[in-house]
Chains A and B, each alone.
Chain A
Amino acid sequence: MAKALLVAGREMKAYLSTWMGYVICAAALFIEGLLFNAYAVGAQPKGSAEVLADYFYFASGIAMVAGVFLAMRLLAEEKQNGTIVLFYTSPITERQLIYGKFLSAFGFMMIIQLLSLYMPGLIFMVGKVSLGHLAAGYLMLALIGASAISIALFASAISPNQLVAGVTGALFVVTLLVLWMVADVVSPPFKELFGYLAIHNRHFMPFSQGIVHTRDVVYYGSVIFFFLECSVRALEARRWQG
């Protein structure tokens, strides 16, 4: 765990000492601010809970995009720069490396989410929403953001550079995103399977309404764990390269 935290600490400093982290953070907050005004608040009168649900709807999309951007560089950049050799020749396991990288991107994602709290705060000032609804929504943002990070981290582990990692990660995320549409046009048992695997639709909706189902938390936890372990295996496999 200490090694994972060591890696996470350095990565977090890298986010804060290069333009990459600031650009992602600023872009995410800017787009969230725009959508909050134009889409969530809108021109028509709405209830506070509805505004908050709409906010979580687009914020979840931005969390996924930010997650891909944050994670695509984590290993691909190390490969491009040759710094990955440092880990390959140091007494650190692939699992410690992957979980450290994940923690850094997740930590940065949480900073972005914390900075976005002023938007729901505005709803509090002019309306009335429950803290439970707010907590459920932010739990969903954390889970869906972490899922996107773990997926893009896996893409980063199997890609030779950041561009390929970004495209591959986005492809995986979009595939999981649109599975609910595929579920609508296929027959059982694939209908249920694809519907369950879809990352957003079925599992997201209860959170945005302020409802937390254990099954949805388990789903996101499973996605995160699955892709992190795939990343570990991908790194372990590179020793067999040839």
Chain B
Amino acid sequence: MIVVEGLSKSYGGRRAIDGVSFTIAEGEIVGLLGLNGAGKSTILKILGCFLLPSSGTARVGGYSVESDPQSIRRLIGYLPDVPPLYDEMTVDSYLKYVARLKNVARADVVRSVSAAKEKTNLDDVGSSKISELSHGFRQRVGIAQALVHNPKVIILDEPINGLDPVQIVEMRDLILSLRGHHTVVLSSHILSEITKTCDRVLVVDHGRLVAEGSEVDLQSRMVANMRLSLDVSQVPAGFADRLKGIDGVAAVQYVPGQGIERFYVETSRDVRAQVASLTVNSGAGLLGLSRGEAGLEGLFMKLIKPVEERAHG
């Protein structure tokens, strides 16, 4: 449904995104994960035909964002980081207006608006002025406008921004309810939310795609590149060399202590069992063995760290 190849965009001399490539299949829910300013919104704006890329190509539903934006606009619903709402309008009149703007036939407008309100739990506020709505309801109206014309692709830029915990749960359920009916691309800097709602995660940092995969893929990738922290006492001679001899260990760093010695073991696979066994069999006292970082947050930090180091280096 979405094919992006070598996409780059510069603002003046600054590269907002740099050679990003990915594909998204029909019906997938995919999350763009990255820190603020990583380039997520720029990618979404290009997919929404809001901006043109400096180089590379992006196709949505087979149409090019450069040569056929109107065809793409018929296919997509777009929620920017700030919902595009007219405060003086009521929810009903606003959604009817958007429906007509999005080519919904006049005879189908009422039905389409009702369906969008039902999906977003807006039935009770149809006659309310948008200016009177809370932030959570405004966000829902923003999503309702994105799906009022039943688009094939829904693009949501930071949909949970500024929501309270209850509203976040509601928004999560709403996004999950779109699964199977629409292809959804959303962005967030909150990893836990992305992994709860998305089939696949694209990690963006400094305009580059630094990782891609499902939650399980990313976790296994983390395991495959783990850094173990080993605390031992009574370290025998040559212990570090014996650690290096374990298959899969790339490097061992020794940090001397007073009674408790620490070794950092960089590995390309999970060797915790072998490290524990070696430590015990060598006569050293095993005081602790843990992964350097825990969970996907750790992976996320690990993925973006090298780029940051490059930028500051």
Contacts and interface: CB of A to CB of B under 8 A. Distances in A.
Nearest to B46: A239
Contacts of A18: 88
Nearest to B50: A88
Nearest to B69: A239
A202 interface: no
11 contacts: A3-B101, A82-B83, A85-B78, A85-B84, A86-B84, A88-B49, A89-B48, A239-B51, A241-B11, A242-B11, A242-B12
Interface string B43-75: 000001111101000000000000001100110
A83 interface: yes
Interface in A81-112: 81-93
Interface in A55-91: 81-91
Given A6-B100, A89-B50, A241-B51, 11 more contacts: A6-B101, A83-B84, A85-B78, A89-B76, A90-B98, A239-B49, A240-B52, A241-B11, A242-B9, A242-B12, A242-B51
A213 interface: no
Nearest to A83: B84
B10 A242 contact: yes
A82 B16 CA distance: 20
Contacts of A31: none
Interface residues of A, number: 25
Contact of A86 (B9, B76, B98, B103): B98
Contacts of A81: 84, 86
Contacts of B80: 82, 85
Contacts, number: 70
A14 B88 contact: yes
Interface of B: 9-12, 16, 48-52, 54, 69-70, 73-74, 76, 78, 80, 82-86, 88-89, 97-98, 100-103, 145, 155
Given A239-B50, A242-B54, A86 B11 contact: no
Contacts of B103: 91
A46 interface: no
A233 interface: no
B111 to A, nearest CB: 19
B88 A83 contact: no
Contacts of A240: 52
Contact of A91 (B52, B88, B102, B155): B102
Contacts of A87: 101
B52 to A, nearest CB: 5
Contact of A83 (B50, B78, B85): B85
Nearest to B14: A242
Nearest to B12: A242
B73 A91 contact: yes
A92 B73 CA distance: 8
Given A239-B52, A241-B51, A242-B54, A89 B97 contact: no
Given A6-B100, A82-B82, A83-B84, A88 B145 contact: no
Interface in A213-242: 239-242
B171 to A, nearest CB: 19
A89 B51 contact: no
Contacts of A242: 9-12, 16, 51, 54
A75 to B, nearest CB: 14
Contacts of A241: 11, 51
Contacts of A3: 101
A239 B48 CA distance: 11
Nearest to A239: B52
